[in-house]
Amino acid sequence: MGLFGDDFYSSKVSRRSKFSSNRKQHSETWNWKRAGQSHRRTSLSTLQVAMISSLTSAAFVILLYSWIIHAPTPATVVAAAEPSIDMIANAYDDLLVQAADKASPTIVSILNKQKAIEKEDSKQGLDDVSLGSGIIFEKKDNEAYILTNEHVVSGAHQLEIVLSNGQRKHAEVVGKDKISDLAVLKIDGAGVNQVAEFGDSRSLRRGETVIAIGNPFGLGGSLTSGIISYTNRMIPISLNGDGVFDWEQAVIQTDAAINEGNSGGALIDLHGRVIGINTMKIASTGAEGLGFAIPMHEVEKVVDHLMASGKVVRPYLGVYTVDLENEYAPITDEQRSDLKLPKSVTSGVIVLEASGPAQEAGFKLNDVIVKFDKQDIATTLELRRYLYEQKQVGDEMEITYYRDGKQMKATVTLGDRPNS
């Protein structure tokens, strides 16, 4: 069978074709004149067909030329397929709005009421109030739990929570940790219908859009937006508040505006997930767009401890120290002379006070610690890092130190840090 399924395009010869051929041989003379007449008619038909074909071809050429002249260029087609700037802007705005709407009901304002220091120009009994923010992250057994900064609740005589709907509740401290600057509070869960979703702060990239939600200057529910400026910044801090940096805090750096009262609030991504706890900003003159948040993968480790035991269990040595070499708080030549150190000893930590395990091991004022388990200890920050990252409660540790110019060693059994 041919491609079109009919005999006109077939290579086969039909019986009818053979029969017609035989008849043609027998009547060749009779058909000559008729054939001649048919030839004239066929020539006329061919002319007509030729004219019609010419006209059709001409019309097709004209239409094709017209289409080519008016057809859209490839650039026009691509431009038409690409979204407009307005479409992109609207989609971006929608993401911001949806993320804020998702997270906002879980953000609360915190009022830290403290007993006022009596002054001649103040009313006796009037409380001082400091402001902060918090995040509702769990609800169970008709109680809701709030995550915030330790410094937000520090020194509180009474804690009051204001929900996003304006409802006020009394709060109790479940646990807090000064080193990580985190605390967990508990409130009555009535009226709490939503808890925050945590995101993965380890997958953050510089340039990602983030939103800070909190209670700056008492303006609860405020939003500010910005980007991730740095994903894992190490910031030196002073745990004792004496201006000497004795610890480092891993933080997310952002240019989203973080002001007084934002502490403890949420830094969220465009999915409305909490990826950090707003904790501080650089307030130096001329500094703008330098805000910091504790990453959630660090927060979650601490929260588990606070929920379980009200504190983070860390090994405790019991020494209050100052660095032998510290550019921010250098010791005088006279003080160094009193230590009677060999000239070869240029770094270490000076014991100012000993308690707990250190006191039991016989440490005294002006002892200079230089090694833990044969590892050099040059600063208080290194001392803490070694204890918290390498040791556990109950571990024994060998300490190398100098007293009155003589090198000495002591073995200490590390304890549990007391609540005070």
Catalytic positions, please? Answer: 151, 181, 263
Residue with tokens 């009193």: 338
Q: Length of the chain, please?
A: 420
Instruction: Give strand ranges (E) for 20-127.
Output: 107-114
- The string of DSSP codes covering 105-152 is GGEEEEEEEEPPPP-TTS-TTPPEEEEEEEEEEEEETTEEEEEE-HHH
Strand, coil or helix: 404: coil
Point out which residues pair with 268 in neighbouring strands.
Answer: 211, 274
- The string of DSSP codes covering 245-287 is --EEEEEEEE-S---TT-TT-EEE-TTS-EEEEEEEE--STT-
Backbone angles phi, psi at 411, to 5 degrees: -105, 125
CB 319 within 8 A of CB 353: yes
DSSP label at residue 198: B
Helix-then-strand count for the chain, H and E? 9, 20
Question: Regarding beta strands 396-403 and 291-295, do their DSSP bridges make them parallel or antiparallel, or are they unpaired?
Answer: unpaired
End-to-end CA distance of the chain, in Å?
Answer: 100
DSSP label at residue 7: G
Strand, coil or helix: 365: coil
Please give the helix or strand (H or E) that residue 304 lies within, else none: helix 296-309
SS3 content of the chain, % helix, strand, coil (to 5): 30, 30, 35
Residue 159 buriedness (CB in 10 A; 0-12 / 13-18 / 19+): buried
Strand, coil or helix: 239: coil
